[in-house]
Homo-oligomer: A and B are copies of this chain.
Amino acid sequence: MSTSEKSGYHHGDLRAALLSTAMEMLEAGEPFSLRAVARRAGVSPTAPYRHFKDRDALESALAVEGFRELLADLGGGRGLPASLPDLAEFAVAYVAFALRRPALFRVMFGKPCDDADDERVKAADALHDLLADALDHVFPDADASALASAGWGLAHGLACLYLDGKLQAASGEEVADRVRSAFLAITSVGS
């Protein structure tokens, strides 16, 4: 009641409605367009422009939400990792997120980050910082920044490659196993 169906003409909270229907379409795997979300939200094709400058602006907003969820996925119920295997689970969770919400993941990472969008930049930085904290926690003596980039890069790269089918695995479980293996393999290479 509170967020919807007020009168007929004025929607009440179109912005939120647009975001959530857009998110639904993303989850459903439907290709989405500004017009399509407008249609589905029961509103005229140009109404979204009152709330989003651009198609890109809508996507940015979705991406920000995505970053929030990804961060929650990584941080939530886990606390800072304390060991190498804990870090591997980070990577596993990252890839799992990408595979569970492929379209959203693509929106988050598929195109150059719009630097003008502060929220989006901040969200990405938050992720990097979380990684850096985690790695600094496990390896206090190492170059935390380099390690954070490496960790993020590894997780992100594997996510992309599995998402695009460049690497393949039969099930989600198998993906998790392989990501774990990859992570442990590359971190135990220095003899």
Contact = CB atoms under 8 A, between A and B. Distances in A.
B149 A156 contact: no
Interface in A92-139: 106, 109-113, 115, 124, 128, 139
A50 interface: no
Interface residues of A, number: 45
Given A142-B189, A186-B186, A189-B84, A161 B153 contact: yes
A152 interface: yes
- Pick from A156, A163, A178, A181 the residue with the most CB of B within 10 Å: A156
Interface string A134-178: 000001001100110111111111111101111100000000001
Interface of A: 84, 106, 109-113, 115, 124, 128, 139, 142-143, 146-147, 149-161, 163-167, 178, 181-191
